[in-house]
Amino acid sequence: MSATTTPRPVSIRSPLRPFEGSGLIVLRNYVTYKSQWKLFATGFLEPVFYLFSIGIGVGKLIHVFEFNGHAIPYAEFVAPGMLAASAFNGALLDSTFNVFFKLKYEKLYDQLLVTPLTTSDVARGEIIWGQLRGGSYSLAFLVVMWALGLVHSWWAVLAFPAALLIGFAFSAVCMSLTTFMTSWQDFDKITMVQLPLFLFSGTFFPITAFHGVLRWVIEVTPLYRGVVLCRELTTGVITWESGFSLVYLVAMGVLGLVVVRRRLDALLLT
């Protein structure tokens, strides 16, 4: 009489929790970049140099500057714009050049998908990392603003979360655009957009300098919305524009996240 044996159950690895996989992506980036601190330093110093040269240097020539009906020093007008630009630059750099290299040349995401990680984990992890990089620039810049005596309102405490929101919005959208790129030459288009946004988003002069259609176009650009949010918080002059900017940036980030996930599905799972 032959004895029957019951097959032993096979242990199947449980899928990761929603943000556990994203955390692993963030940890991987931290371990990779922690020895390359000079890359982070250069991204932070650029807006600081602009603040000293334009905000403080040119500010010596401008004695009274009006913002929302309040007279403020010119440096206090420029500094919040550079704060938003810091989050913008940090998010853009990591979500374009680095993501493109990982996607097209290093094939990192193909390797990650062999593990229990999903394209959603990759998208969230990379966007969070870009947000953290931009946020680190913004936090350091906010400290510089405080040290220079350019912060006079308790509303400025919310400027750092605002900068994180700016980083989230730009990380998501920039990464989604990067998935459509096919060569390094495509990054010329990034520069063509980055520079005008930086110069014409109300960073160095008020939006009232423009008129007609051009003003309406600038007012709906994402960096301008970030500049408005940071400027109103650091000066303590809060208007309805801050609420509109908040909704705008949240919607922008969510839309970018959805596009990134779908694009990664199309590129890596088909």
- The confidence score (pLDDT) of residue 54 equals 76
Note the pLDDT tens digit of each residue in 235-257: 888 889 899 999 999 999 999 99
**Which residue segment(s) compose the domain that 113 sits in?**
38-268
Q: Which two tokens stand for residue 62?
A: 């401008």
Classify residue 28: in a domain, yes or no. Answer: no
Classify residue 57: in a domain, yes or no. Answer: yes
Q: What's the number of domains the chain is made of?
A: 1
pTM value is: 0.85
Cα pseudo-dihedral 101, 38, 223, 253, rounded to 10: 50
Note the pLDDT tens digit of each residue in 166-206: 989 998 999 999 999 988 888 888 888 888 888 888 888 88
Classify residue 32: in a domain, yes or no. Answer: no
Q: What is the DSSP letter of 116?
A: T
Cα four-point dihedral sign 236, 241, 245, 247: positive
Cα pseudo-dihedral 220, 226, 229, 232, rounded to 10: -100
> How many other CB atoms sit within 10 Å of the CB of residue 172?
27
Classify residue 13: in a domain, yes or no. Answer: no
Classify residue 61: in a domain, yes or no. Answer: yes
- The confidence score (pLDDT) of residue 51 equals 78
Classify residue 195: in a domain, yes or no. Answer: yes
CA distances 134 to 11, 141, 155, 225, 252, Å, are 41, 11, 20, 16, 16
Classify residue 31: in a domain, yes or no. Answer: no
